[in-house]
Structure 1
């Protein structure tokens, strides 16, 4: 990163803090301290994977003390790290033991409304012309499918986007998010 200052009396500092926040600071001689005038990211949910696998980040977490939560059917992998240290990097795990298969034994999908969808690098378009109901029926048979979303595609129909494996980087987005459906076992579905 490079930049220049037209006034040599201005002292600037760029800092990367422990959480990954990049800050530009300016020295105020009168106050004897550094003042922040610019920083990124703007939201606590901007850093990739902030809440770990199967976690969901809420940038408007005013009602709670922490921006991270687990997706339905999951719980913090390390509750003490979440609750005491506010460190969600370890993510979440199924509430049932991983060795207990839920697939084909009453499992289903729970709606998580208005989110920025999880990382799509492991997602697959099943079809670009499939109803939400047909999307769920189609992927219900595939036990490795962990979630799906039915998304309107501009100038096309409704597409069926599916995720296989771990879900990462899901963020609540109240203004313009998508609904995703997360696979849970029969106990969590009700």
Structure 2
């Protein structure tokens, strides 16, 4: 049923979707939303396909809505990342570039221990200034815990630690006041 401007309901004509007249695929899997390949199988995209099918949206309208949502989400993410960068630039002042390099090394370090962490930071958590602060702390902690210089050059102690050992040691150092 479609809502009539007079307040009544008008029966739908066959093939007339909720958003636009025309044919619709009928099954969620039949909607091509034109999303980037890396979003194939994304739960949100699948939910939207089910939504579009249930409301009998035309493929064109469904694709336009998906494209609009994606562009808005990307805009918001860009704004949040810019706000995070601005906040950390203010907080870290002239040390920003050096601190950012340390954060990147910390991300690489954690990613080597827990594959997928770097991707998670880049795709989902890179807009959080608290994460940047924590990773800077981690980078400094790992550098401090790497041991004294040997033979005139700094050679970090690269012994393998379990995640439990690392976390226990990091919190013990934090409790002692070691940053």
TM-score, with structure 1 as normaliser: 0.23
Greater length-normalized contact order (CA 8 Å, ≥ 6 residues apart): 1
**Hey, which of these two has a bigger chunk of helix by percent?**
2
**Hey, which of these two has a bigger chunk of strand by percent?**
1
TM-score, with structure 2 as normaliser: 0.24
Compare CA radii of gyration and give the structure with the larger one. Answer: 2
